[in-house]
Structure 1
Amino acid sequence: MHTPGTLFTGIGQLVTNDPGVRSLTGTARLGIVEDAALLVTDGVVTWVGPAASLPTAEAAALAVADAEVVDLEGAAVIPGFVDSHTHLVFGGDRAAEFEARMSGQAYTAGGIRSTVAATRAATDAELAARLDGFVTELLAQGTTTFEIKSGYGLTVADEARLLELASRVTDETTFLGAHVVPVEFAADPEAYVDLVVGNMLDACAPHARWIDAFCETGAFTPEQSRRILEAGTARGLGVRLHASQLSAGPGIRLAVELDAASVDHCTYLTEDDIAALAGSSTVATLLPGVEFSTRQQFPDARRLIDAGVTVALASDCNPGSSFTSSLPFCIAVAVRDMGMTPAEALWSATAGGAAALRRADVGHLAAGASADFVALRAPSYVHLAYRPGVPLAAGVWRAGARVA
C-alpha cells in the first residue's frame, strides 16, 4: 500500500554524512549535496539528492507527487546531533565549585560526591522534571539522539531509579555505578566494587544498554574497572569507559582490549594509546566542555584523526565539570582549541557519536536512516563554528516529526 510522505525542498546545503555522495566542497566525508531535497516516509529517509533530480521512477514519483511539501527556504540542513555522553539525571547544583575553579582551585573527581548527596535527597518527580527540561534543551539545539548515564545514586535503589528515569526518554542508558566510591565505602573500596558487580548490577542491568566505569586516580583502578566491565559484559551490556581525563594511564588500552564501543575523555594520550585506538573499533569520544570548564589542557584531536582513529564529540553534560547541553558549542570549542576542522567537528558530533553508540540508523541522512535532522539559520554548516554561541537551529525533526 502506498504511504505518502513529506518532501523537504529548498535545502541550500545538505550534509548527509554519506561518503558515497559526491561532494563539491572538498569535504567528501560529509557527503554534501547543494540545492537538495529530502523525502521522508514513515519516519525514515527514502530519497535524498539534488532537487533537480527528484525521482522519476513510477513508484518514487508517486511518493513525491503525494507528499506534503515543506520548503526550508535555502537553509543548510545537517543530521541531528548524536550526544553519546551525558549525565542528565541528578539533583543539586555545583555553581560554587565552578566559581572556585575559575578562581584558581584545581579540578578533582571528588566533587561528584556532593551531587550524589543531592541526588539521593531528590524525589523521582523532581529528578524527572529536571530531566525533561534537559531533553527540551537538547532538542532545541538539534540533538536528536542522546545517551544518559547513572552514577549519582551509588546505592542499589538509587542507581536503579536513575536508570529507570533515564529509560523513559532514551534507549541509550548506561549503568555507571562505578563513578566514584561513595563516602560510606571510603574505608573499603573493594566492598563497594563487590556491590557494583553484584546486587547493584542485578538491579540496574534491566534498565541499561551499557556499562561504564571511571578509570582514574581518585575513582577506580584499572583492575577494579576491568572487573566491573567484565561483569557487565557477562550480563549482556555493552562497554564504555571514562579514561585518561586527569592523567595518562592504562584505561584507554583496557577499553580497546575489552572492545569498548567508546573510551571517553582521552585528554592525556600516549603514542601507545593512539596506536591501540587506531587498530580497533573503539571510538575516542572527546568532551570539549570539560576542558573549557576545568581549564585543563584540551585533548589533541588532530593526533587522533591523523592516526586514523574514529573521533566523536559529546557534551558530557553534568553539574560539575561540563554543565552544557550544547553540541554546537562543543563544535566551536573543538575547532578553536582541539585542532579540528569545521567538517571534522560536525562529523564527530553526528556520525562519530553514532559510531560511539554503535548505531547505524542515526548520524547520517542516507536512504534508510532515521529522518533526524536540523535546519540551520545559516547557509552552511561552517556557521556552527563560525558563529559560536548563536542559536542556529531553526527547526529540528526526529523520525520525520518536528520536535523543535
Structure 2
Amino acid sequence: MTTTVVTNIGSLVTNDPALGEGPLGLIKDAAVVFDSTGTGTGKITWVGPATHAPAADTAYDARGRAAIPGFVDSHSHLVFAGDRTQEFNARMSGKPYTAGGIRTTVAATRAASDADLDANVRRYVSEALRQGTTTIETKSGYGLTPHDEARALRIAAAHTPETTYLGAHIVAPEYADDPAAYVELVTGPMLEACAPYARWVDVFCERGAFDGDQAREILTAGQKRGLIPRVHANQLGHGPGVQLAVELGAASADHCTHLTQADVDALAGSGTVATLLPGAEFSTKAEYPDARRLLDAGATVALSTDCNPGSSFTTSVPFCIAVAVRDMGMTPDEAVHAATLGGAKALRRADVGRISPGARADLALLDAPSHVHLAYRPGVPLVSAVWRGGVPELV
C-alpha cells in the first residue's frame, strides 16, 4: 500500500462542515492524503490545510485548482442497445414525450448480444468517469423478460454494485392486453431470476406504465426478496409515486417534477431522498422540478443524470448542475452538494460523496479555481483529474 498527497488545492469541497466553511466544508489552500491499494479500495486518511499535510509516498500538485468529491450519479439506465435519434428529432419538432418509446429500446436490447451490451455499459461508465462520476447506479428495464432482465443486471453488476431491478419499467409488449399477468411475472419468476444481481427494486409509477396499486405490489415483492425500493415518481404528472415511496421507506423518489404540498411535506418529513433529473426535462422540453421548494421545506435532494437513450441521453453531471442552477432554483453550492453527498444519501452510502477521513478516496480536480465554475462555465470540460478509490483514473 502506498500513500498519495494531493496538495496546493485552491478550494476543496469536503461536504463535511466539521472540516471547513459552510455546508460544503470548504477549505482554501488545502491538501488531501489517501491510501492507494491499486484495487480501488483506497481511503482518505487526512484532510486539511496544505501547510500541515503529512508526508506521503507520492505527491500531486493541484496548482491552485479546485477539488470536489467524485460525483455520485444515483439514477441511470445504461444497459441498452439501439438508437432513438428519430424520436428525439421528432420531439424537438413538436411531438410530446410519452413512455411508449421505451418499447423501441426493448426490441433492440433483446436482440443485442451480451458482449454488445457490456461494451455499451463500459463506454458510458467510462464517459461518466471522465466527467468526474466515481459512483454510478444503473438499472435493468429494457429486457422485460426474466432472461433479458437478469442478464442486464448481471452485466451491470460487473461495472457497479449499485444495480436496480426495473422489470416494471413498462408493461412488456406481449402483455399489453393483460397487464395483471405481467405484474405477476415481475413479482414472480422475473424477480427470482433478477434478485441475485440487484440491490434495489424500482417501478415506473406513472400513467402509461404502472398505477399505485401495481407499484405497491411490485415494490413489496422486491422487499420480501431483500431489495430496497426506489421509485420513478411524479414525472409526467401528479400521482401516487412520491407518497408510495415515503410509505414504503424507499431510498429515493426520482423525478419529483409534479408535486403537491402534501408530497413536499412527506419528503421533507422522511428519509426518502428527492432525486431530481433535469436532463429528462431538458430533452423532453418539459417543466423542470422546483428544487427550491423542496430545499426550503427541508427535503434531502440529489441531482443525477437519468442517462437513457430516450429522454435523457447524457452522462454529464456537470451539465445537470448547470441546468439545476439556471432553471431549478438551486445555488451552485446546493447543486454540487446534491450531485455528490445527495446522491450518496440516495444510495444509502456513507463512504462516498464526501472528502473526509474514512471515506473512499474519490476525488475530482477541476481546471478552475472554484466548484462554482461547474455552473458558471456550462458545457466546458472542467474535470482535469480523477481518483477513484485512490486509483488515478484520469490524471
Which interval holds the TM-score relative to the shorter structure?
Answer: over 0.9
SS in 2 for 1:65: coil
Q: Does 1:337 align with 2:327?
A: yes
Structure 1 runs of 4+ off > 6 angstroms?
Answer: none
Q: Does 1:382 align with 2:375?
A: no
Could you say which residue in structure 1 is the equivalent of 2:163? 173
CA contact (8 A) 2:5 2:56 kept: no
Could you say which residue in structure 1 is the equivalent of 2:127? 137
Deviations 1:116-145 (A, max 9, x none): 001001111111111111111011000000
Within-5 A mapping of 1:1-400: 4-23=2-21, 28-42=22-36, 43-54=42-53, 64-400=54-390
Alpha carbons of structure 1 residues 66 and 347: separation in structure 2 relative to 1, 3 Å: closer
More deviation, 129-138/82-91 = 129-138
TM-score, normalised on structure 1? 0.95
**TM superposition shift of 1:223:** 0.2
Deviations 1:75-105 (A, max 9, x none): 1000000000000010101010001110001
Deviations 1:197-237 (A, max 9, x none): 00000000000000000000000010000000000000000
Deviations 1:337-391 (A, max 9, x none): 0000000000000000000000000000010000101000000000000000000
Q: Distance in 1 between matches of 2:70 and 2:325?
A: 19
Q: Distance in 1 between matches of 2:242 and 2:31?
A: 42
Deviations 1:164-222 (A, max 9, x none): 00000000000000000011001100000000000000000000000000000000010
Q: Distance in 2 between matches of 1:20 and 1:367?
A: 12
TM-score, normalised on structure 2? 0.98
Could you say which residue in structure 2 is the equivalent of 1:59? none
CA contact (8 A) 2:279 2:312 kept: yes
Alpha carbons of structure 1 residues 131 and 4: separation in structure 2 relative to 1, 3 Å: closer
Could you say which residue in structure 1 is the equivalent of 2:39? none
Q: Distance in 1 between matches of 2:260 and 2:196?
A: 36
Q: Distance in 1 between matches of 2:2 and 2:313?
A: 42
Q: Distance in 1 between matches of 2:56 and 2:262?
A: 56
CA contact (8 A) 2:131 2:316 kept: yes
**TM superposition shift of 1:53:** 2.7
Runs (5+) with no aligned partner, structure 1: 55-63
Q: Distance in 2 between matches of 1:68 and 1:184?
A: 58
Percentage of identical aligned residues = 64
Could you say which residue in structure 2 is the equivalent of 1:58? none
CA contact (8 A) 2:33 2:56 kept: no
Q: How many equivalent residue pairs? A: 389
SS in 2 for 1:196: helix
Alpha carbons of structure 1 residues 66 and 252: separation in structure 2 relative to 1, 3 Å: closer
SS in 2 for 1:187: coil
**TM superposition shift of 1:67:** 2.4
SS in 1 for 2:265: helix
SS in 2 for 1:87: coil
CA contact (8 A) 2:14 2:20 kept: no
Q: Distance in 2 between matches of 1:77 and 1:146?
A: 19
Q: Distance in 2 between matches of 1:372 and 1:41?
A: 11
**TM superposition shift of 1:4:** 4.2
Q: Distance in 2 between matches of 1:53 and 1:203?
A: 53
CA contact (8 A) 2:170 2:210 kept: yes
Deviations 1:229-255 (A, max 9, x none): 000000000110001000001110100
Q: Distance in 2 between matches of 1:123 and 1:135?
A: 19
**TM superposition shift of 1:21:** 2.2
Root mean square deviation of aligned Cα: 0.8
